[in-house]
Amino acid sequence: MDELGIVPPPPLAQPLTIAYHDACHLAHAQRVIAPPRRLLSAIPNLRIVEIPEGELCCGSAGTYNLEQPELARAIGERKARAILTTGADAVITGNIGCINQIRTHLELLNKPLPLWHTVEVLDWAYRGASVGD
């Protein structure tokens, strides 16, 4: 989508600040870092904040959280704490495993935030729907 170019969607009804988490398969394996941010930046009323140590894995890593649960737990908690320092209203990422891992650790810290896939947010923006609908 980024390479093809997009027509900017209408503005979100309410301003939204999101923390964007780089999924390892995109950032490290495919070197896709800027394109999701450019796509999301095209949405008026959406502000992206960077996560401290954003280059670090969330601990899901495919089946890593099943094969190495203690390490995955520690990594997941570290990622969740880093996200919370951003003050973001929600988290967006391009991987369902990351969504589940981050959600779990935010909930364990009693600080749940909405987590969405990049394409979900683009869909809501283009449809003019409220984020989360």
What is the per-residue pLDDT for 57?
A: 81
Q: Which two tokens stand for residue 106?
A: 């935010």
Going residue by residue through the chain, which has 133 residues, state the pLDDT in tens, using 9 for 90 and above: 777 777 888 888 889 999 999 886 664 455 656 778 888 999 999 999 999 988 888 788 777 778 888 998 999 999 999 999 999 999 999 888 899 999 999 999 999 999 999 999 999 898 887 777 6
**Residue 72: which of 95, 109, 102 has the closest Cα?**
102
- Alpha-carbon span 103 to 76, nearest angstrom: 9
Residue 35 CB burial class (10 angstroms; 0-12, 13-18, ≥19): middle
Partners of 19 in the β-ladder: 49, 91
Partners of 93 in the β-ladder: 21, 117
- Alpha-carbon span 95 to 92, nearest angstrom: 9
Between 118-127 and 34-41, two packed helices, what is the crossing angle to 10 degrees?
Answer: 20
DSSP secondary structure code for residue 101 in this structure:
H
The H-or-E segment that residue 69 falls in is helix 69-84
Question: What is the domain partition of the chain in residue ranges?
Answer: 22-127
Partners of 115 in the β-ladder: 91
